Amino acid sequence: MTGGPISVAGVVVEPGERRDLAPLASESYTGDRTTLPMAVINGIEDGPRVFVTAAVHGDELNGIETCRRLLDAVDPLGVAGSLVVVPIVNVLGVQFGSRYLPDRRDLNRSFPGSHSGSMAARIARLLTEEVITGSDAGIDLHTAANHRTNVPQVRIAEDPRALPLATTFGAPFVMRAKLRPGSLRAVALEQDVPVLTYEGGQPLRFDADAIDVALRGIQRVLARMEMIDHAPEPAAAEPMVLDASRWLRAARGGVLELHVEPGDRVQAGQPLWTTSSPMGGAERASIDAEEEGYVIGATTLPLVQPGQAVLHVALPGEHLPSEDDPTEEEDEDDPDMTEGT
Ligand SMILES: [Zn+2]
C-alpha cells in the first residue's frame, strides 16, 4: 500500500522523499541557534517508523560514521515506512569531544526532557517529541565511556518485542540490562517504543569493526521489519543472550597486564590480569576469574589504581544480583562515576 506524507518538526515529507531538517533545540552560550540535524526518509510504501540516533554522548563517535554510511546506503524509493536518522544528538558535546553537555549534564539521563529545562532537557524534549514518540522501534548507537572499550553488543530492556530485533541485529552479545532512569531507552519504553542500545568500541575513535557490525545490524533490523528488501547475511554465530554482568576491579595499583582480550570467553580460575609495581620486581597481584563468563568490555589504560574497573564480564545463567549487591548500583556505561551526581 502506498504511504502518505509524514510530518516531523513541522516539515512535511512526501512519499519517496528524503528531507534533511535542523529543528531548533536551544541557544548556545553565544546566543547562536543550537539545532538538531536529522534526515527524514519517507518511503513510497506504507510501513513502520524507525529511528536511529548516535552521539547522545558527545565523545562516542562510531555511531556518527555508522549513520553517514547508512544514509548513503538507503534509497528513499526502496523503503517501506519511514526512517529518521539523527547522526549527532549531543550537538554541543561533540564540539568538545565531551560525553556531557557544557554544563556537565548527561543527556542520556535527561529524557524525556522539557521545554524550559537545561540544554540537555531541551535537546531531549525535541528528540522525544519529534523522533521517539510514534516510532515503532529505535536504535541508539553508543561506545564505551572514557578509557574503556566495548565488544559490539546490544542492550535491551525486558521487552518481548526487543529480543528478536536484537538477535537479528547480529552483534556477538545481547545484554538484557537494567533501565537507567532518564535514559533514551527507558523513556522510549514508557512510550511503548522498543529500543536497541548498541555499544561498540571506544570513545573519540572510529573502530572499523564496531561500525561495520552496527551498519549491518541496522540493515538486518530494517529488513526484518520489511522496510528494505536487501540486508547483509545473518551473523555467522547466534548472539549470546545474557542477563547479568559485573565489573571486576583492580585490588592493587600499578602497571596493568591483561591476560585476556575483549570478546574472550573466560573460565573459572583463569588468570585475567596482573598488576605489577612500576619499581619492577615481583608481581603484585593476579586476579583470577571466579566464574565462567565473557569479557564484553575492558579498560584501555595501561595503569590502574585500586578499585578501578578493569574488565566488564557478562555472566551466563542465573546471576541476578541481590538487592543489597553493590554492583547493582554500578552504572555500566561509566562504572567509575558515582551515580546521581
Ligand atoms: Zn554512551
CATH of the domain at 139: 3.40.630.10
Q: Is residue 128 one of the residues assigned to a domain?
A: yes
**Model confidence over 128-180: pLDDT tens digits?**
999 999 999 999 999 999 999 999 999 999 899 999 999 999 999 999 988 99
Angle at 68 between CA 14 and CA 29, to 5 degrees: 90
Q: Is residue 1 one of the residues assigned to a domain?
A: no
Rounded distance between C-alpha atoms, residue 99 and residue 312, angstroms: 20
- The better pLDDT of the pair 230, 72 is held by 72
Domain boundary among 240, 269, 289: 240
How far, in Å, is the centroid of ligand 1 from the Cα of 276?
Answer: 31
Residue 124: what are its φ and ψ, rounded to 5°? -60, -40
pLDDT at 325 over 60: no
Distances (CA, A) of 188 to 72, 84, 219, 224: 27, 15, 21, 20
- The better pLDDT of the pair 221, 338 is held by 221
| All cell numbers assigned to 266 | 573466560
How far, in Å, is the centroid of ligand 1 from the Cα of 191?
Answer: 21
Q: Is residue 336 one of the residues assigned to a domain?
A: no
- My answer on whether 81 and 101 are in the same domain is yes
Q: Is residue 25 one of the residues assigned to a domain?
A: yes
Residue 102: what are its φ and ψ, rounded to 5°? -55, -25
Indicate which CATH number applies to the domain containing 321. 2.40.50.100
How far, in Å, is the centroid of ligand 1 from the Cα of 274?
Answer: 28
The 10 Å Cβ neighbour count of residue 158 is: 12
How far, in Å, is the centroid of ligand 1 from the Cα of 97?
Answer: 13
How far, in Å, is the centroid of ligand 1 from the Cα of 203?
Answer: 9
- My answer on whether 94 and 126 are in the same domain is yes
**What residue numbers bound the domain in which 88 lies?**
6-240
Q: For position 341, what pLDDT does the model report?
A: 30
Dihedral sign (CA 182, 187, 188, 190): positive
- My answer on whether 171 and 281 are in the same domain is no
Beta strands of 122-231 (E only): which ranges?
A: 137-142, 148-156, 173-176, 195-201
How far, in Å, is the centroid of ligand 1 from the Cα of 255?
Answer: 27
pLDDT grade for 287, boundaries at 50, 70 and 90: confident
The DSSP output letter for 226 is T
pLDDT at 318 over 70: no
Stretch 4-13: mean pLDDT: 97
Tell how far CA 34 is from the center of its chain.
23
- My answer on whether 183 and 47 are in the same domain is yes
- My answer on whether 125 and 204 are in the same domain is yes
- My answer on whether 140 and 209 are in the same domain is yes
How far, in Å, is the centroid of ligand 1 from the Cα of 99?
Answer: 8
- My answer on whether 314 and 200 are in the same domain is no
How far, in Å, is the centroid of ligand 1 from the Cα of 78?
Answer: 31
Rounded distance between C-alpha atoms, residue 102 and residue 98, angstroms: 8
How far, in Å, is the centroid of ligand 1 from the Cα of 55?
Answer: 7
pLDDT at 327 over 70: no
pTM > 0.85: yes
Q: Is residue 56 one of the residues assigned to a domain?
A: yes
Burial (CB count within 10 angstroms: exposed 0-12, middle 13-18, buried 19+), residue 169: buried
Rounded distance between C-alpha atoms, residue 279 and residue 254, angstroms: 9
Rounded distance between C-alpha atoms, residue 89 and residue 107, angstroms: 9
pLDDT at 324 over 50: no
pLDDT grade for 283, boundaries at 50, 70 and 90: confident
Q: For position 319, what pLDDT does the model report?
A: 53
Counted residue by residue, the chain has a size of 341
Rounded distance between C-alpha atoms, residue 115 and residue 54, angstroms: 22
Domain boundary among 220, 240, 260: 240
Identify whether 164 is preceded by a cis peptide bond (ω within 30 of 0).
Answer: no
Asked whether 217 and 154 are in contact (CB, 8 A), the reply is yes
- My answer on whether 209 and 129 are in the same domain is yes
pLDDT grade for 203, boundaries at 50, 70 and 90: very high
Stretch 205-231: mean pLDDT: 97
Rounded distance between C-alpha atoms, residue 211 and residue 200, angstroms: 8
Contacts of 260 (CB under 8 A, 6+ apart): 266, 270, 272, 273, 295, 311
Mean pLDDT of the chain: 92
Q: Is residue 341 one of the residues assigned to a domain?
A: no
Q: Is residue 286 one of the residues assigned to a domain?
A: yes
pLDDT grade for 286, boundaries at 50, 70 and 90: confident
**Model confidence over 239-280: pLDDT tens digits?**
999 999 999 999 999 999 999 999 999 999 999 999 999 999
- My answer on whether 255 and 320 are in the same domain is yes
**Selection from 171, 176, 240 nearest residue 211 by Cα:** 171
pLDDT at 340 over 60: no
Maximum CA extent, the chain: 73
- The better pLDDT of the pair 339, 79 is held by 79
- My answer on whether 212 and 275 are in the same domain is no
- My answer on whether 213 and 250 are in the same domain is no
Domain boundary among 225, 240, 255: 240
- My answer on whether 85 and 49 are in the same domain is yes
The SS3 assignment for 184 reads helix
Number of domains in the chain: 2
Distances (CA, A) of 146 to 97, 182, 230, 336: 11, 21, 36, 10
How far, in Å, is the centroid of ligand 1 from the Cα of 244?
Answer: 19
pLDDT at 82 over 50: yes
Q: Is residue 75 one of the residues assigned to a domain?
A: yes
The SS3 assignment for 159 reads coil
